[in-house]
Structure 1
Amino acid sequence: MRRAVVVMASAQHQPVGLIAKLMQVSDSYVRQVIHDFNGHGFEVLDPKWSGGRPAKTDQATREADLPDRPVLPRDLGWPFATWSLSKLADVLRINKITDISRETPRKILNVGGVSWQATKTWKAPADPAFQAKMARVSTSTTIRPSTAAWSAWTSSGH
């Protein structure tokens, strides 16, 4: 877009110095864009994408960073119940395995076919008989409102 504005201002016979000041670029940049446009036409206005920054980690390190099976953070001694991309990146950085952004684990997990879902969690109970108690509750009958109570509630505008 910047190159297009430079070319448009030049077509309106604006001086190079004014175009440079307006676009907050150097005079040499404005002259180069005009020269390139005169020599090559509209293809000069296309974006010039580059490959970007090289990856900080190689493929072997990426594969070594991911466990073969899901591991809960508490099993590794971390004080949280579930993983997030930023927590995973922080753990890798703290353990001096690799220094990556949270986007890199997301890409690695996607390539590996690993999906995740944000869930609400609760603290693990300290009661050793918790499983037995939960089994008793799940086999008990569900309490339901009577038909008359349900009709009265729904007819009151709920």
Structure 2
Amino acid sequence: MLDNFSPHLTTKKDSRVGDWAAVNNVELAYTPTNSSWLNRIEAQFTALRYFTLDGTDHATHKEQGSMIRRYIIWRNQHAADERLREVVAKANVA
């Protein structure tokens, strides 16, 4: 699922992405303009930002990538965590 961010729209014309999608049985679905809230992954990005990036100043991209990987591992092990559910629920409403 992709929103209408202009680089995403080029995937319609980009044969590499289109070819990859066809070979891997992936359908590229675009949300309507001004409706990124329909993209359910957006709420997960909000939680990622809240738990790993807000209020930080990582010295390197490697350090930041490490924090994101650690969050994803934690998130997958704690999908029922109440704080996580609250953050995702707030993002889904916005």
Superposition TM-score tier, normalisation by shorter sequence = under 0.3
> Which structure ranks higher in relative contact order (CA pairs < 8 Å, sequence separation ≥ 6)?
2
TM-score (norm 2): 0.26
Which TM-score applies when normalising by structure 1? 0.18
Higher alpha-carbon Rg: 1
Give the number of the structure whose residues are more often helix, by fraction.
Answer: 2
